[in-house]
Structure 1
């Protein structure tokens, strides 16, 4: 099993500020039954349908209904984290999502909600062993986990270079628990406006799952690169399909 502090491309650091370490080791991911039910009700039936003019979802048949899954979406807007459960969560697969989020998103009033809706913190620059072990434990329990592989929000219509952490993490879980069956599902968001406002259209495309075990060939670095490259290709294909559909629709309107 590879070292957890090498999962993300951050470089080794021998000394860590004790305050940061204390914050990051406070890893707690859970689903509040009443809060999650209320959120699904309000977001799925009121907020999202009213805010967006049209929500198009393609490929829901590709979502595994059991077993460890990593959803790997592009990240175009903060709305993504509300739309993703709407498109893939309890109402579709019967599953709640666990989100790997930045440590700042788990602070204060916002953090109170995030932690009770499946979110848990990670410092992408210096991830703690405790946090990464918690992530692997979630996969071991057969949870559906969300990791944004681009590492940030990008509001153009491009798929940006993926961070190597997602591939290394998935392979770590699979290699440390042979036969676990981790799958990565590429998901692509596209909005009709870079900054989604009232009446914006949104498209959510879901590709077939990638079986992580197919990439476990014994060399973690090369295996992770191949897995990450194939994930990036799948996301780009989803993005191209959206661009083609948009171009065709525009040409039909002009004619």
Structure 2
């Protein structure tokens, strides 16, 4: 009931203001469980996709969104619950993975849609990164649910980092045909099968989105970018310090001219 109210208010507002275009809606089954595996460009991905679907889709979100104190914290928790997101405690990588899988299985066992981002985090630069072979293949093989590849397009351009006011533009959503992995049923613990399933899904997402593919994890790319930014800032600080020292050296002997004049007068 709450989801329906939030979808009517938030979803309708998003469609009215941003007018997202959609291709492949016919690939979403009218009933039964399915996994929507999407690229991840923006925080808003988890809102635009549900907004254009008739069926409820559930994503997972970090537990901090649901446990923050105060009025703002309670409103945030209510909002995320209302738009169909489940809290997952991400303290401890292994524990977080198991919690996410369990949450996903509960959604799929109810015959509903479960949304997942195989990259594990938002893309730092708009490119598509290597999928993590954990939650997605294990969910698909344990549940037997089809995997539907989804491509979010241009959502990162609506509100880039540091921009407060969203840009009014039309994002896109392209939904691919369901992928059947029943041939691997019962092999969800095999890491080679996990990688094979993940790579097949990521290939379809790449084909749908047209993104450049980078064969490293997005988390590693973010670390590289952060390290590069840190090194650049340190280099800039050193240059500024050297320039400052140079200026002080040039004019750093006050009174020397007067001393020379005094010696010449003597």
Do these two structures clear the TM 0.5 threshold for a shared fold by scoring above it? yes
Aligned residues of 1:73 and 1:189 also touching (Cα < 8 A): yes
- Map of 1:1-255 to 2, 5 A cutoff? 33=1, 35-50=2-17, 52=18, 54-88=19-53, 90=54, 95-107=55-67, 108-109=73-74, 110-124=76-90, 125-127=93-95, 129=98, 132-154=101-123, 156-174=125-143, 181-191=144-154, 194-196=157-159, 197-216=166-185, 218=187, 220-240=190-210
Aligned residues of 1:171 and 1:220 also touching (Cα < 8 A): no
CA RMSD of aligned residues (A): 2.5
* TM-score normalised by the chain length of structure 2: 0.65
Deviation of 1:105 after TM superposition, in Å, equals 2.4
What is the aligned length?
Answer: 196
Aligned residues of 2:141 and 2:181 also touching (Cα < 8 A): no
Runs of 4+ in 1 over 3 A off after TM superposition: 128-132
Deviates further, 54-63 or 233-242: 233-242
Cα separation, partners in 2 of 1:58 and 1:221, compared to 1, 3 Å: same
Structure 2 unaligned segments of length 5 or more: list them.
68-72, 160-165, 213-266
Task: Work out which of the two has the higher radius of gyration on C-alpha atoms and give 1 or 2.
Answer: 2
Aligned residues of 1:155 and 1:195 also touching (Cα < 8 A): no
CA deviations on 1:121-167 (whole Å, 9 max, x unpaired) are 22452425555333212212211111111111125332111111233
Cα separation, partners in 2 of 1:56 and 1:216, compared to 1, 3 Å: same
Deviates further, 66-75 or 133-142: 133-142
Deviation of 1:185 after TM superposition, in Å, equals 0.9
Deviation of 1:182 after TM superposition, in Å, equals 0.5
Which one has the bigger helix percentage?
2
* TM-score normalised by the chain length of structure 1: 0.68
User: Any idea what SS the aligned residue of 2:12 has?
Assistant: helix
Cα separation, partners in 2 of 1:126 and 1:105, compared to 1, 3 Å: farther
Which protein, 1 or 2, shows the higher relative CO under an 8 Å CA cutoff with sep ≥ 6? 1
